Structure 1
Amino acid sequence: MGLVYAEIELINGEDLALKRKHIIGEDEVKRMTVSALVDTGSYMLCINENIQEQLQLPVVEKRKAQLANGEIVQCDVVAPVELRFKNRATTCRAMVLPGDSEVLLGAIPLEDMDVLIHPLRQELIVNPDHPYFAQMKLK
């Protein structure tokens, strides 16, 4: 099976909370759409420093991570990040990888959204057994 990428939307979770309280408007919510490598070998959502800077996500802790080349680096962990894919959404933490690293969509957010990798089509899909999985209102 080749590499699988998915278009996902990343949203600053603190901004969404402020919007729900009518403190900021919809146009002030920081969000972006990115292409993420679906990586079941990673357990978290991993973003890069550029995305973290644009979304202004708060750092909640630091963790050590092993990169694909074996290098161990200390990374910031940011939260909350709302992640959306098709009719699915989850709120999670994200590890901030150095520089302009590729976005990785790890196992925890994949499982929480109940999505699957379709090996023949090489794409991320909504679980066909639960196509209308109950979701919160996405606005």
Structure 2
Amino acid sequence: MVGTVYEEIILENLGDKYRVECGLIKEVEIREMTVQCVVDTGAETLVISEAVQQELGLRTEHLHESTLANGETVVCKIAETVKVYWKDRSMTCEPWILPGASEVLLGSIPLENIDLMVDSKSRKLVGVHGDQPLGRIW
């Protein structure tokens, strides 16, 4: 058993990047934050708290009913897209806002999209195919 793994990631409001491109806001107005997250391979996606949603200024796109690990059914808000950065890697996703959440969870889909896995010895995230930058796909 690996135990709890924590990692630092940066979350960025992708809608703000679009608003910069449209000339509606300046680049310095892009909302982003660095958070300590729990790497949760049992979670499906990125889960954030309502406080993180508010700080990033993310609109709720829709609602989704989900069953938690303890069997409880909850209705989660799904927010507009964020960009998730870990070191030199990034991906985009629509985070789930779990009612009453206090921690950010980085789940299996973002981990796979960034080509990451948990190293059970070091209890850290590492690249599935090494820690070299993934490079660009043109």
C-alpha deviation, 1:12, in angstroms: 0.6
* 2:126 alignment partner AA: I
Equivalent residue, structure 2, for 1:120 = 121
Q: Give percent identity, aligned residues only.
A: 38
Kept in 1, the 8 Å contact 2:62–2:78? The answer is yes
* 1:71 aligned onto 2:36: no
Count of paired positions: 136
Tell me, which stretches of 5 or more residues in structure 2 are unaligned?
A: none
C-alpha deviation, 1:135, in angstroms: 4.2
Q: 1:135 to 1:32 in 2, by over 3 A?
A: farther
* 2:54 alignment partner AA: E
Deviation per CA, 1:29-81, whole angstroms, max 9, x where unpaired?
11111111111111110001110111111211111122343321101001211
Partners of 1:76 and 1:2 lie apart in 2 by: 28
TM-score, normalized by length of structure 1?
0.89
Partners of 1:67 and 1:130 lie apart in 2 by: 32
Deviation per CA, 1:119-138, whole angstroms, max 9, x where unpaired?
100011233436120248xx
Deviation per CA, 1:105-126, whole angstroms, max 9, x where unpaired?
0111111111121110001123
* 1:52 alignment partner AA: Q
Equivalent residue, structure 2, for 1:18 = 19
Tell me, which stretches of 5 or more residues in structure 1 are unaligned?
A: none
Q: CA RMSD in A?
A: 1.7
